[in-house]
Structure 1
């Protein structure tokens, strides 16, 4: 009754206590004890998507490399085949009727019949006409693809393959004209002419690259940090002078003319609380003008409390830093500044009363050493004096 209800899954059935002995093989195979040292060779497991005949051939070749006695070879090949299956193929193997397989040939026939839809049909020589040279494709790449398809064809007809290779070439290719005028009888002749044309094309390409080298140093003046024009209040640097296209302007945060940062003041409150304190000052604070533009990217984490909008963080807001600098100069917000203030804060201090330096009465200039002491040039006199430990210098004495 439950199975008749639409949309309800089939209830789980209880496992039979003797299900551990279930096997799709007959007793002649199921009752044979496998040698202790027997292990199935490692290979790619079959999941019904690839060719079943190719899987059987690979399984046979792997099993031939395992040392198995002759009387145990067929039972071992039958019992080890299930470990090479996965997914729907394994479910089919487990769900087979008990005792339905009596030999390995029956297993292969049933396996190929079950997964016949995944079988890959044998290619013919006429399939090579589907391989053609693409637009501006190098001849070497086309030759590689053609040879890769040709190898998969058994009993390939050589004249048909040569004709398919010629037709697949571009019509303006010199090799197409060469193969049309002088017919080839073997693929070796076609390969030789194709390699000669490939060497010629690659040589010309190397010469073109040698004499034509584009300037790769030319980059865009705008950096990725300046691609924020769609964000409100995004800062960009516009240099009025001529800027060389090979040089990128420095990052805007490193501009020395910017106002001091919030951390340089040594405030005892956070930046969010400081913005709330601006509301108590009233018209003293120059609040930014409100815009009618919709809020950009509401899901972004870049929120500015001073502008009350998305686009950048308050710690990076240049307008907020300028307003803090102006209020500190006017004497506001001083109660929130700690005693240990940074040197970046622009404050005016009266210099201490220091004693004046003594006045200059007379200046006497003299020369120690030189050309007069050894009648040589000044440089030679320095080398001579350096060897004897004499100091040659120009001095000025202030009295």
Structure 2
């Protein structure tokens, strides 16, 4: 009667019993495409512990075959086979340290080399110098960005612009532009009584400087 109860209990819970793992099951543990050596090594060791009296030679070979064929650890274990699983773990630990260092360096912000830094500084100085002289060129757009004090420090005469028309034609073209272009004014005194009445400008319709200036 007791034997029948034992058999019934065994049949009822037979599906709940965990199957015993064998050393050959370790060959199923393959490193994933994006899995690091550290992750693969941890997963392999967890499965190996579950195998009762695991054969060393099988564990060594299963670990080697489970690695990526292009990894340096796989090449080392293939060229220099290990006869103990402890030796395999030593090489795996060295590969993990190298892998961690590479990942850490990849996550760090890149530092420009000395040569590239020097090139960047030269380029910056060149651009700064170019912008500096651009402001004082007759046709430079920078003349619209400087204030009156900088404009007054470097003025150009009408002859420097190389116009082939008369002063009257130039004044007509400038007036047609209207407020679309802000032209620099020659230096004048703030007080009206200090202006030279002998100098007249047809464009500004003011005294104190000549039209050519």
TM-score (norm 2): 0.48
TM-score (norm 1): 0.26
Q: Which has the higher contact order (CA 8 A, sep 6+)?
A: 2
Bigger helix share: 2
